[in-house]
Every structure is written in C-alpha cells, then in structure tokens.
Amino acid sequence: MGDCILVVGGAGYIGAHMVKQLRRAGFAVQVADDLSSGRREAVLGAPLHVGDIGDPAFVGPLLAALRPAAVMHFASFIQVGESVAAPGKYYRNNVAATLALLEAMRAHGVARFIFSSTAAIFGDPQYVPIDEAHPKAPINPYGRSKWFVEQVLEDFDRAHGLKSVCLRYFNAAGADPEGELGECHEPETHLIPLVLQVASGRRPHITVYGEDYPTADGTCIRDYIHVEDLCQAHLLALRQLLQGGDSARYNLGNGNGHSVREVIAAARRATGHPIPVQVGARRPGDPPVLVADASAARRVLGWQPRYADLDTILAHAWAWERRHAEWRR
C-alpha cells in the first residue's frame, strides 16, 4: 500500500471520485467529512472519519493518528448565490475552517496540500481563454473565499515551507464512467444535472437565465470538464508534490466553450427527451463567457483529458441520473 492521503470532503461529488482514483492508484486513502452535504455511501472502500475540519479537537488527533503524506481539500460551500446572501457562512467554512486545518497540519508536520479552487477567483474576465496570470478580482464571497485561501497558502509556504497545489476548476461535470458515482447536490444548482432531471421527469422544464448575452445564441458560454479528468489532474499534482515539487497553481478546463443552449441540445441527443425550456431574467454576476487556458497543466503536469467532448460528459451524467434514483429518496 502506498502513502496515506487524507481526503477532506471525500464524501462529496468531486471528493468521492478522487477517493476512487487514489485507491486505484495504490494510495492508502482516509476520508474526513462532516456529511453536511456529502453522502456516506459515496465513500467507496476508504475509512470515513466524521467531523469538522475547523475543529482542532477533531482534526489534530486525526492527523496525529494518520500521519498522512498529503491532504487533499474538497470541503467547501460552493453556491455563489448563497454566498452573496450569507457571506459569513462562506468565510467561516471556506476560510476559517481551512486555516484551522492548515494550522493543525503545521503542528503535526504535514507539509503537502492540494486545494480545490475555482475560476470564480478571476471575476468578470478581461480576456478569454483565462490563463493563470489573469487578474484576480472575484465578484462574490464564494470566489473571494477561495482567493483568500490561495493567498494564505502562499504565506504558509514562505513562512513554514508548506507546499501546495491549487487547482482552479471551471465547470466540473459528468460522472464515474463505471456508474458507481455521480453528481448529487441538494439543492442542485448545476446546469447539466438540472437539464437531466428534466429528461428523467423530476423537473417540468429547464430555465435559461438570459438569452441576450453577446454570444452566438445569446446564452452564457462555459467550459465543462469531466470530473474524472479533473481528478486525474489532482493525482498528477499530488505526485508532483510527493516527488518534491514546489507549490503551483493551475487552471483546469478543456478550453472549449459551450453555451447553455448547446448543453441543452447535447442533453436532448443523449436522452432522446425534448427537454422543455423557459427563459428567465439574467442572474447578477454571470459573465457571458468563461473558458480556461489549461495549457500549463498539460505542459507541466502532463495532463491529458480523456473525456473532453460534451456528448461523453452528458452520456456519463445521464447514465448516473437513470441508475441511481435510490440516492435521492
């Protein structure tokens, strides 16, 4: 068995996929999750420790007992709208709890950290595709919470030698190709699962928020990255750190933008369902186009996405939506 890796938030959507990939790669995986949004049944084959990583009485003894070679952190609140309405909740969980985790890591000699960041740190894009050098100007508390942690990690590297890789996701999507795991948020806010819930009969229609953007069909364009490819980038970043690599920051996306209407059309192809559409008003803070320049991850990590096309992402997500109704009871 390989090095012990502690996956914080390993019962959530991306964290659970990461646990499965780590185990397949031969690592000894341990999971910490408070189950506030994660699901116990999503943790496949790894011990689960239930608790709050912001609580030193929980995380300190856990790190002392496990002595992990690295910590991978996926335990964040992620809803932009909620962060605007309840900023304190986001700063407590995404910033303060992460700081408590980092302090506990320092106290117990754990010096490698993989952080789940976001394209929301860039705010309204000044240019696309967005590379790592793009100005950081988050426009909501969610994005600010992630950018603040990235800056904290830079300070911890300088002061304490704690090495970190921050991976800035664009739009994570899709599901485990083997059908064991998939996206299951409550409430669901992501476009692809919402569209598929219409196809499966759980919603009457999908709402398109704005059709007057300066894009070819008037709807927002986003860069969708398969969750498996996202986790593969994390695995490569982890190996880089374990081999003595320095701290780094990478954008993760496919570099291909798809509009909301293109996603709906792909869902119709995947499901054979008409998927009724209603048009609503624009949502505040939705940039017209967000597309990643992920060439640094490809060049430095050797990352090569396997499921880059939208139809494959939709097919895997649709298989999950059809097969796992029991998770949503």
Instruction: Pick 325 or 319 by higher pLDDT.
Output: 319
pLDDT of residue 326: 46
Average pLDDT, the chain: 94
Q: Check if the beta carbon of residue 227 is closer than 8 Å to that of residue 17.
A: yes
Q: Check if the beta carbon of residue 33 is closer than 8 Å to that of residue 56.
A: no
Q: Which of 13, 90, 142, 169 is catalytic?
A: 142
Per-residue pLDDT reduced to its tens digit, 85-103: 999 999 999 999 999 999 9
Q: Check if the beta carbon of residue 222 is closer than 8 Å to that of residue 298.
A: no
Q: Check if the beta carbon of residue 180 is closer than 8 Å to that of residue 44.
A: yes
Summarize the confidence of residues 151-160 as an average pLDDT: 98
Angle, alpha carbons 198-119-146 (nearest 5°): 110
pLDDT value at 327 more than 90: no
Q: Is 142 a catalytic residue?
A: yes
- How would DSSP label each residue in 81-142? HHHHH-HHHHIIIIIIHHHHHHHHHHHTT--EEEEEEEGGGG-S-SSSSB-TTS-----SHH
pLDDT of residue 56: 96
Per-residue pLDDT reduced to its tens digit, 102-130: 999 999 999 999 999 999 999 999 999 99
* Residue at token pair 């030193």: 56
pLDDT of residue 325: 53
What are the start-end ranges of the E strands in the chain? Answer: 4-8, 28-33, 48-50, 70-73, 112-118, 163-169, 171-173, 206-209, 221-226, 248-252, 257-259, 277-280, 289-290
Instruction: Pick 26 or 285 by higher pLDDT.
Output: 26
pLDDT of residue 1: 61
Interacting residues of 8 by C-beta distance below 8 A, sequence separation 6+: 15, 31, 32, 33, 53, 71, 72, 73, 74, 75, 101
Per-residue pLDDT reduced to its tens digit, 56-79: 999 999 999 999 999 999 999 988
Q: How confident is the model at residue 329 (pLDDT cuts 50, 70, 90)?
A: very low
pLDDT value at 158 more than 50: yes
Domains of the chain as residue ranges with CATH: 4-173+225-252 (3.40.50.720), 191-222+255-291+307-328 (3.90.25.10)
Per-residue pLDDT reduced to its tens digit, 235-255: 999 999 999 999 999 999 999
Summarize the confidence of residues 147-174 as an average pLDDT: 97
Q: Check if the beta carbon of residue 17 is closer than 8 Å to that of residue 45.
A: no
Per-residue pLDDT reduced to its tens digit, 266-315: 999 999 999 999 999 998 778 889 999 999 999 999 999 999 999 999 99
Share of the chain above pLDDT 90, in %: 89
Q: What six digits make up the tokens of 136?
A: 């950081």
Helix (H) or strand (E) holding 31: strand 28-33
* Residue at token pair 């304490």: 160
Q: What is the pTM of this model?
A: 0.95
Share of the chain above pLDDT 70, in %: 98
